[in-house]
Amino acid sequence: MKERKVTQKSISQKLILKISQLHKRYNEGKSNEVHALQGIDLAVNQGDMMAIMGSSGCGKTTLLNMIGHLDRRSSGEIVINDVVTSTLSDAQMTAFRRDNIGFIFQLFNLFPFLTAVENVETPLLLSGVNSGLAREQAKMLLRELGMGDRLYHLPTDLSGGQQQRVAVARALINDPAIILGDEPTGDLDSKTSADVMNLFRRINRINRQTLILVTHNRWIAEQCDYIVHMTDGKISRIEQGPSNAVEGKQ
Ligand SMILES: Nc1ncnc2c1ncn2[C@@H]1O[C@H](COP(=O)(O)OP(=O)(O)OP(=O)(O)O)[C@@H](O)[C@H]1O
Ligand SMILES: [Mg+2]
């Protein structure tokens, strides 16, 4: 990963993500229409670490998919890094997403025929990084995640927790401005969960990457600066996280 200069959060408060009046309807106009997002307004600063919580079906994954532009919204505006995303063509959006957003999915979505290190280096290769450098960076990051002895294993030969760490490495390797995680520690044991959260916090503080994590786990949420609570497709409350209140942030 590139090292970015550490800057006091208070000095620059660049808005990295702004969502205005976002609506998502599935099966629009049909009898089985679901109004999954009902007017979301949200502003996220660069370097924020934010958790999204709420009961099953309240729209957390839908919101993450909208931010990641994996699915089309029904209406509303999303601005990422000063770009109004609706102005991008599909091809521009694909490149923009690759360069700006890292995903860690609820199901890891690893490429089954690629080894751990190949999975992790893929985003770099797609961005045009030469293969030797991509391989070195992928190895370095996997080693940092305690996967140094599993570099050449296929996903089927890894445990769930190990696959999760490969997915985390793949999301981080491109050094994206925003990392989206849908239950990114969901299937990990508590020690590995803590390791992954420590890594998130470290990259958040050193690289000022923005993290948006959906979680049902209160402990994970409390590692974040603030917690956005969702109910029935709306933001019902925003809670300051204890880590923000107690430690402050660099
Ligand atoms: N592809 C889809 N087609 C139709 N309805 C959908 C689709 N995806 C999600 N929904 C519905 O939209 C609502 C929000 O779903 P979403 O997956 O965002 O919930 P969630 O908060 O992530 O839940 P969980 O905590 O269980 O993952 C739910 O009522 C769900 O049934
Ligand atoms: Mg979900």
pLDDT at residue 105 tops 70: yes
Distance CA 19, CA 66 (A): 10
Distance CA 229, CA 108 (A): 24
Going through the chain in order, the beta strands assigned E by DSSP cover: 15-26, 34-45, 49-53, 75-80, 83-84, 101-104, 178-182, 210-214, 226-231, 234-240
Token pair, residue 179, equals: 């990392």
What is the average pLDDT across 194-201? 83
Q: Which helix (H) or strand (E) holds 172?
A: helix 160-172
pLDDT at residue 7 tops 50: no
pLDDT score of 191: 81
Distance CA 21, CA 11 (A): 29
Count other C-beta atoms under 10 Å from residue 28's C-beta: 11
* Residue 159 vs residue 236, higher pLDDT: 236
Q: Whose C-alpha lies nearest to ligand 1, atom 14?
A: 59
- Banded model confidence at residue 109, pLDDT cuts 50, 70, 90: confident
pLDDT score of 9: 46
pTM: 0.86
Ligand nearest to the CA of 38: 1
Count other C-beta atoms under 10 Å from residue 32's C-beta: 6
Q: What is the CATH number of domain 48-70+89-247?
A: 3.40.50.300
Q: How many angstroms separate the alpha carbon of residue 61 from the centre of ligand 2? A: 4
Count other C-beta atoms under 10 Å from residue 117's C-beta: 22
Q: How many CA atoms lie within 13 A of 247 on its CB side?
A: 12
pLDDT at residue 8 tops 50: no
* Residue 37 vs residue 163, higher pLDDT: 37
Buried b (16+ CB within 10 A) or exposed e, 149-159: ebbebebeebe
Which of 6-10, 20-24, 126-130 has the highest mean predicted lDDT (pLDDT)?
20-24
Q: Whose C-alpha lies nearest to ligand 1, atom 19?
A: 57
Kindly write down the DSSP assignment for every residue of 30-99, as one continuous string. STT-EEEEEEEEEEEETT-EEEEE--TTSSHHHHHHHHTTSS--SEEEEEETTEEGGGS-HHHHHHHHHH
pLDDT score of 244: 55
C-alpha distances in angstroms, 124 versus 85, 92, 105, 111, 139?
Answer: 23, 17, 19, 15, 12
pLDDT score of 199: 79
pLDDT at residue 73 tops 60: yes
Beta bridge partners of 38: 23
Least confident of 145-154, 163-172, 210-219: 163-172
Q: How many angstroms separate the alpha carbon of residue 198 from the centre of ligand 2? A: 23
List the domain boundaries for the chain: 48-70+89-247
Pocket of ligand 1 (CB under 6 A): 26-27, 34, 36, 54, 56-62
Percent of the chain with pLDDT strictly greater than 70:
90
